[in-house]
A and B are shown apart, each in its own frame.
Chain A
């Protein structure tokens, strides 16, 4: 039984080399032990993993690549004389910090522009609850499309998964997720651009294996994974660093819809079965949307 904290920690660690049981061909490339429990390691479910492993194998390297962090991009949306958009820089982390909570430094763009974002009055945030985005600001009332069973009215929730934080002139976005890899199946067709590639017919050709992916991948319409990727391993949304913001919501209570009756029957059958539905929905009130300062983040403050 996998513990949720362990799973979440490993999902967020974004290992460039996957554990053995999901992607075996890349397992021998790592020299770092990924097991924290008794072999109960859930796989990292990112396409960065697949891509990097394919590249690594093609290059034949055994060393571990740098872990790709979440570079932040702060985009000014006005035409005032502000600095141009600065792309976030990659921060390589050592293997020793893989499973410990990394106190990674903020990137240059974040450190420069976060105070400007913070100084502006009102902020909005796109928080994700169960991977569904909600664009909220302080004081909003959100009726979730589901019922939270273990949330009593008055409980304070801390929302820690967000993709965008913005104000009137600035937006802090999470880094773009790695491009989706297409699963290699027998119906996959590689389309070559005739203007640049050869003019041979290439339809109904199985996509290249990982070893040849570098040669064929350049001209392919979409990168092909060396193996079938189950939907659990397909690319997901990448989130912002949790340390950058604080977002709290209070559970206000529960709403329910009016009773719905659905009649189920077939033609020429007199039996009518009636199904009753009365769904419940949790209502939250967003009580705080705050961006933390650079000193506060780097100082490692936990609460508030």
Chain B
């Protein structure tokens, strides 16, 4: 498996819940910020985070990436394409494209 030149972040996804496991596991997941299944968090690569991941390694999926997405960016990626665009606004001239109104 070849990695990119700089892998700065761990991309950690919770796949299995810690219900029924000792409290230590759920504590580690809370420290990582994983409170629900299939949530994804980004953490910088460090020995601390690597140790945390190792503590819950059976529950999570980990990738090494070089860019961390914010919650807003991940949400935008989930949105489907709208499938339309406004060609002409009501009351605008026929030359208007893209919804800009001609006064």
Using a CB–CB cutoff of 8 Å, the interface residues on chain A facing chain B are 1-2, 4, 7-8, 11, 20-29, 39, 41-43, 45, 57, 127-131, 150-161, 185-186, 209-211, 226-228, 230-232, 236, 248-249, 251, 303
Bound together, the chains give a CA A185 to CA B14 distance in angstroms of 11
Nearest neighbor of B91 in chain A, beta-carbon distance = A154
Contacts of B63 in A (CB 8 A): 22-24, 227-228
A231 and B38 in contact, given A27-B4, A42-B73 (Cβ under 8 angstroms): yes
Within the complex, the shortest CB–CB distance from A63 to chain B, in Å, comes to 15
Give CA–CA (A27, B61) in the complex, Å.
19
CB within 8 A of B87: which of A25, A211, A230, A248?
A248
State the CA gap A21–B11 with chains docked (Å). Answer: 9
- Residue B49 lies at the interface, judged by CB distance under 8 Å to chain A: no
Q: Which residues of B contact A160 (CB under 8 A)?
A: 83-85
Can you report 23 residue pairs joining A to B where beta carbons are below 8 Å apart? A1-B72, A7-B76, A20-B67, A21-B65, A22-B63, A23-B63, A25-B2, A26-B2, A43-B77, A57-B2, A129-B82, A130-B81, A131-B81, A152-B89, A154-B90, A154-B91, A157-B86, A160-B83, A160-B85, A227-B61, A228-B61, A231-B38, A248-B87
Do most interface residues of chain B lie in helix, strand or loop, or is the interface mixed?
A: loop
Point out the residues of chain A lying under 8 angstroms from B87, CB to CB: 156-158, 248
The minimal Cβ–Cβ distance linking B7 to chain A, given in whole angstroms, is 6
Closest to A236 in B: B80
Interface residue? B30 (CB, 8 A): no
Known contacts A21-B69, A228-B63; can you find 7 more A-B pairs with CB under 8 A?
A: A21-B9, A28-B2, A42-B77, A152-B89, A156-B86, A159-B83, A185-B61
Chain B contributes a number of interface residues (CB within 8 A of A) equal to: 42
Let me know if B77 and A8 touch, CB within 8 A: no
Most buried by B among A157, A161, A210: A157
Whether A161 pairs with B13 at a CB distance below 8 angstroms is no
Residues on the A chain within 8 Å of B97, using CB? 303
Q: How far is the CB of B89 from chain A (nearest CB, A)?
A: 5
Q: Report the bound CA distance from A1 to B64 in whole Å.
A: 22
Cross-chain contact B88 with A156 (CB below 8 angstroms): yes
Q: In the docked arrangement, what's the CA distance between A127 and B82, Å?
A: 11
Q: Using an 8 Å CB-CB cutoff, how does the interface string of B50-82 with A read, 1 for contact, 0 for none?
A: 000000001001011111110011101110111
